[in-house]
Every structure is written in structure tokens, then in C-alpha cells.
Amino acid sequence: MVTNKNKLSGNNNQTAFSFISQPVTSLPGIGEKSGTGLSRLKINTIKDMIFAFPYRYEVLLPNSNNEDKNILAGAFEGSTIIRTRNGKSLLKAVFKGEYGYFFCLWINFNHNYPSSILHTGTYYYLYGVTTKYDGVLSIFHPEIINKDDIGSIRSIYTVPAGLTLSVYRKALKTALNKGLKEIEETLPYNILDKYKFPNLCDAVYTIHNPNTNENVKSILNRTHPAYKRFIYDELFYMQLVMQLKRKTYNKSKGIKFNIDKYYLQVIKNVMPFTLTPAQKKALIEIFNDMISNKQMNRLVQGDVGSGKTIISFIAAAVAVHNSYQVVIIAPTEVLAEQHFQNAIKFFEKLNISVELLTGSTKKKSKETIKSGLADGSINIIIGTHALIEDNVEFKNLGLIVTDEQHRFGVHQRKTLIDKGCTPDVILMTATPIPRTLAMTLYGDLDISIIDQLPPGRIPCITKAFKAKDIIKAYNMVEEQLNKNHKAYFIYPLIDESDKLELKAATQSYEEVKKYFKNKNVGLLHGKMKSEEKRQLLYDFKNGDMDILVSTTVVEVGVDVPEATVILIENAERFGLSQLHQLRGRVGRNSLQSYCLLITSDDISSYSRERIQAMIDYTDGFKLAEADLKLRGQGDFFGTKQSGAPELKFADIIKDINIIKQVRDDVEYILMHDEELKTDENYNVRKTLISMYKDSLSYFRIG
């Protein structure tokens, strides 16, 4: 192990031929096949293996709990081969221990193993999961260990099929023995001293080899200094990147827009409704950004139906009034089309030209639109990823609005930004994130939260039904249809699946048509052509279609005010955030709306709690907090709904106090050494460049 600061930084002249940069297949026992399997686990180099930590530990101790692995000790007395009921051969070995007889059993055996190593009268220590066979304490396929192994600790790793743990451990031992001296420290030494953290090499070694039962316990409960050091390390670089991005934004000389009060009155006169106090507050924050000479990077976070879109439209109108063009980009054609339809109604009253550009736009129209963007005759363009293409150019792009921003990568957003001259950026999301986490996840952005619904909106009533009681739900739907309202029926699949017993939209479409035989029913799913989707949504919104049977393609943005009820089958299979988004498709007027959740007849207690949370909370932020309590960070952010980073050690919920410490430490470092060029921050700069070599332009380091 390395223990002093001189050795701690390792070999500063690492080359491509350093030991830890070699492929993992150069280690003993790791062949090409194992290397391919390890590559799927993101273990390609020896350094990758060194930082692939155990997911649990085994302490080799005798244990009386038959469900756990035990050590049974005894003298071998003989063996016999017996036939099982299903015709398999079973080798049964009999041992006599201190507390009586026990069996060891092997299904897969031959003349070489295990008979060749078992000798009558010899005392053996056998390790494995204990069970009962013919009423006798037994172990199937035990591992024969040495007496010295008792009390030892084994690290358990995820390994690919065909590679045994014993071979992996031998390879890892070589990797640690030869490679640790090349591992360079990643944290400033004053941080190590401040929090009494071990250096990186010692921390790595300890996590792989805890040595004592006490160390295992403290690692598992996240209190060991080595573990805490890795928590801090992950959060340190997460915060560092966000604060560097923020500083980059603040340095970027943006457009200084003029906010014309008389023009704001013109906009107010064409507004379809009065803004809520929360909308006004968000708009003021946006205007303050627009009049500054710094580039705006603001996240507008608002619950479903809170009115984010109209805020972006007002900002767009102000930008156009200042002779700049505006991009409004959405993740799906359905949402882009809807924004376009709403935009036409709003902007035509202001004599502002708006066009739509998606992958489905006809070639001739595309060329005309691209020409209009290049010469500036088109003021506002609404579209999808098609707007990011290289041949889409602007005369004077001044504002970019990204809806459902988490569905776009950083590189995609930067590509769009580069089409203008430091345009202002508004990011919008309807995915509620608890207030306590918003600043952590979006620390590089300014945040506006719209936490009020427009006046006149009545909270949606959510009810749950077992599948056997679905007719009760159908009757509620029928009541709404008889009032000339409309209904959504949502299913998780398009076609029947043999693997999952879920209702399929195509099959259910026929069932719904049969039950509601006097109503017009349509079917919408993601595999349909864009023109078909567009026509269906138009018919549902403006025509005589009463029921829309759909997959989750309607999850975001589809706005049909006459729809007052949404029925969701297999609701237990959806995440709470997705259920809340779907519920947001109804209740978009002053009428009472209903969300009917249909679950399987037998669901887990966890699923029941989630369904109950949907019934209890209509506020998306409160629902998100309940979701976090139920699921914890891993599952909550596993949907990638928030752009949250992958964290192996840190937990954004549990470690909120550490996050505050880290944020203060990073602020102090950047205040005194913004470019990270002092000797004290040499390791930090080098680590940052190594970790984010493909993204350095986003925060101007390197």
C-alpha cells in the first residue's frame, strides 16, 4: 500500500504503456472470452478492474442460520451414489462433526471430483449454503476450505459467465500489487487533512480488502473513512463541473435584450388568460436574465399544466421584437406539432412568423424553411432533433427553448447553441424534482419554479380498481362520455407479449370498441407514421372521436381540454413520475377530471403504496418526494428522467449534508484558483481533464 504524499500522486509521467492502462486480458487467467464479458461490465483496462469494487462481502464464520452460508466441519466417513426422482445421479458424502452427522451433496461429479480428494477419516471444513436433505443438515456443492480460512473475509464481485470468482480474485490481486503505485490522488491534500480521509491508494485497497469484520460493517453502513472518501470524491467532481459550467455561463457575453414595456402591453392584450403569480415571478426572472449582458441558462420547472409554455412564448415574442430568431425544440413530433398549433394562435396576433420542422416535414418544405431561417424571414422555428442538423442555419438566433430538456444530451444542446452567437437558453421540464434536490442536480443553472396551476383548474380525482372490478371503472368512463367529454385508455404495450402479462393496446382497442359500441374509438401508438398520428390526434381533439386508446406516446404534452378521464391499465407497472405525466393529460379545463388506475388483482405491498401515493397527491412535487421515500435515489433516478449522474457511492438523498460541505469547498477552491493551475490543485485539474476530456469546451478547462 502507498501511504505518503510523495508516493500518493503516483507516477506523474504515466504513458500509454503504463501497467494500469494495459488491457485487462494481460492479467493472469483473463483470456479473450473473459475479456469480452468484462468489457460488457465496463472493465476494459487494469485500472478499470482496480476501480470495480465488490458489491458485497462474505465473512467465513460458522452460522446457525440455515438460510445463510455456513462452515460445517467433520470427518469424512464415506459416500454413495443415489438416483433422484427425476433420474439424476447424486453423490452423497457423509461427515461426522462435533454435533452429529451431516451430508455434502454433488449433482455434477465425476471420478476426479470430489471423490478423489475425499479420504476416509480425514477432517474437512466445508463452506456453502446449508439446507436439509432427508431431514439431515446438508450442503449442496460445498467449497472445501482450510482451517485458516475461518474468520477471513471475501469480497464478492460481479463477474461474467465463464469466469470464476477465484480466477478473478487472483487477477485482481496482481492488478492491485502492481498497479496501485500508479494510481494518482484525485483530491487536494488539504481536503484529505480536513476530513481525515485516507489517500486514494489506501482507500482503494481497503474497499477491496476490508480485513476485519468491523471494517466490513462500517463499509456496508457507509461510515468507514475509505467509503466516506469515495462519497466525497464523487460529489466533489459533480459539484466542480457544475460550478465551472456556471462560471463559464457567467463569463459568456450574451445578448442584451431590450424589454419594451409598451410591447409587453401588446402581448398582454393577445394573452388568452391572466398569468398566475408563479408564472409572473418566473417571467420576471427570465426578463432579468434577458436584459443582462450575460448568457441566460435557466431551467423552468413546473408541474403538468402549470403554464410553462406560455412563459416561453412571451420570452420568444420579446426576442423577436429585438430582431432575433427563436428555436423551440421538443423531444417528439407529437409534442412539437402541438406546440406549433398553439404557437400559431398566439404569434399570428403579433405578426410573428412561425414554422414547424421535424423529420416528417416534406423535402420541398424543408428546403423552403431552411432558406427562411438562413435569411431571417422566419422568426420562430418549432421542431425536433431535425433542428440540430448541420445544414440548418440561422441569420440571427437569439433564444433557444428546450422542452422536456432531460431528453436531450448536453452535446445536442451545445450543437444548437453554436448555431447562434451566445443565445439565451431556457430549459423546461415537467418532471417534478423535490426542492431539496433541484439545486444539487441543476447547480449549473438558474432555476425558476412554477408551483401554481392556472385559476379554475380543479384537482384531478384519482381512483384505483383491481382488474376484476374494471367494469366499475368503465361505468365511470361512460358517465363522462355521456356528458360529451372524451377519454384516454392507456396501455403499456402495443402488441401482446408472451413474457409479460400486460394488457396490449391493439387487443384492448378491440375490447374497448366492443364495450363502448356506440362511441368512436381510435388507436394511437409509437410505431404509426407521423401523418397517421397527427390525423388521429386532430380527430380526437377537434373531431367526433370519443375515446383514444394509446400507449405512453401521449405521456407528454398532448392537450385535449374536452378529455376529462384517463384510464391506465397495469398501472403498477408504471413509475410514479410517468403516471403523473399521464394524469396530466386530463384536467386541462375547469371541468372535474378523473384518473382511473387499473392494477392486477394481486400486487405487492410496495406497488400498493405507490398507487396510494397517486391517490393522495395531485401536486407533482409532493408526489416526487413520496416517490423518493419509497424508492430511494437509485430507482428514482434510474428512469434518467432528471439527468442525474451515475453514482456508485454517494446518495443524493442520504448525503445532502455532505453535498453542502462539498459545494462550500468547491466554491472556496474556485474563488482562489478558478483555472485550477496552482500546485495544490494539480491533481484536481488533471483528474478533471481525464474524466471530461470530451466535454472540456462546456466549462473551458484544459
Please count the CA atoms within 13 angstroms of the CA of 65 that sit on its side-chain side. 4
Residue among 287, 289, 346 nearest 313 (CA): 346
pLDDT number for residue 351? 93
Whether residue 126 lies inside any domain: the answer is: yes
CATH number, domain at 73?
2.40.50.140
Burial (CB count <10 Å: 0-12, 13-18, 19+), residue 591: middle
> CA–CA separation, 593 vs 457, rounded Å?
10
pLDDT number for residue 334? 79
pLDDT along the chain (702 residues), means of 10: 39 62 95 94 95 91 66 94 84 93 90 88 93 92 90 91 92 96 94 96 96 91 95 92 81 87 93 89 96 90 83 96 94 85 92 92 91 94 88 92 70 76 87 67 80 79 94 94 93 62 72 90 81 82 88 68 92 86 84 93 88 89 76 48 63 82 92 90 89 64 42
- State CA 274 to chain mean position distance: 36
Query: Which of 91, 124, 149 marks a domain boundary?
Result: 149
Query: Which of 402, 419, 450 marks a domain boundary?
Result: 450
Residues 6+ positions from 12 with CB-CB distance below 8 Å: 184
Q: What range defines the domain where residue 598 resides?
A: 461-617
Whether residue 521 lies inside any domain: the answer is: yes
Summarize the chain as % helix, strand, coil (round to 5).
Answer: 45, 20, 35
Q: Which three cell numbers stand for residue 551?
A: 400507449
Q: Residue 565, SS3?
A: strand
Instruction: Give the count of beta carbons closer than 10 Å to the beta carbon of residue 592.
Output: 15
Q: Are residues 116 and 76 in the same domain?
A: yes
**What confidence tens digit (pLDDT) does each residue in 53-110 have?**
999 998 887 764 445 788 999 999 999 998 888 878 889 999 999 989 999 999 878 8
- State CA 427 to chain mean position distance: 18
Please count the CA atoms within 13 angstroms of the CA of 96 that sit on its side-chain side. 5
Write the DSSP symbol of residue 338: H
Q: Are residues 400 and 440 in the same domain?
A: yes
Residue corresponding to grid cell 412554477 = 450
Q: Are residues 468 and 433 in the same domain?
A: no
Predicted structure pTM score: 0.68
Burial (CB count <10 Å: 0-12, 13-18, 19+), residue 448: buried
Residue 294 and residue 256 in contact, taking contact as beta carbons nearer than 8 Å: no
> CA–CA separation, 201 vs 180, rounded Å?
6
Q: Are residues 389 and 432 in the same domain?
A: yes
Q: Are residues 480 and 443 in the same domain?
A: no
Residue among 595, 579, 578 nearest 587 (CA): 595
Whether residue 163 lies inside any domain: the answer is: no
pLDDT number for residue 1? 42
Q: Residue 176, SS3?
A: helix
Q: Are residues 479 and 431 in the same domain?
A: no
> CA–CA separation, 296 vs 346, rounded Å?
24
Residue 79 and residue 58 in contact, taking contact as beta carbons nearer than 8 Å: no
Residues 6+ positions from 150 with CB-CB distance below 8 Å: 60, 61, 62, 71, 125
Whether residue 485 lies inside any domain: the answer is: yes
Q: Are residues 342 and 428 in the same domain?
A: yes
Q: Which three cell numbers stand for residue 282?
A: 418566473
Q: Residue 383, SS3?
A: strand
Whether residue 501 lies inside any domain: the answer is: yes
Whether residue 30 lies inside any domain: the answer is: no
Give the long-range contacts of residues 603-610, CB within 8 A, separation 24 or more.
603/572, 604/572, 606/630, 607/572, 610/572, 610/576
Residue 628 and residue 656 in contact, taking contact as beta carbons nearer than 8 Å: no
Residue among 554, 594, 569 nearest 503 (CA): 569
Helices (H), 418-521: 435-441, 470-481, 505-515
Query: Which of 417, 450, 483 marks a domain boundary?
Result: 450
Q: Which residues pair with 489 in a beta bridge?
A: 549, 567
Q: Are residues 286 and 138 in the same domain?
A: no
Residue 520 and residue 546 in contact, taking contact as beta carbons nearer than 8 Å: yes
Q: Are residues 475 and 397 in the same domain?
A: no
HEC readout, 438-454 = HHHHCCCCEEEEECCCC
Query: Crossing angle for the helix pair 605-616 and 620-638, nearest 10 degrees?
Result: 150
CA angle 371-376-378, nearest 5°?
75
Q: Are residues 300 and 432 in the same domain?
A: yes
Whether residue 403 lies inside any domain: the answer is: yes
pLDDT number for residue 503? 60
Helices (H), 298-446: 308-321, 333-347, 363-375, 410-417, 435-441
Whether residue 42 lies inside any domain: the answer is: no
CATH number, domain at 577?
3.40.50.300
Provide the domain count of the chain. 3
Q: Are residues 474 and 403 in the same domain?
A: no
**What confidence tens digit (pLDDT) does each residue in 26-39 have?**
999 999 999 999 99
Q: Are residues 440 and 502 in the same domain?
A: no
> CA–CA separation, 299 vs 427, rounded Å?
5
pLDDT number for residue 50? 96
Residue corresponding to grid cell 481536503 = 191
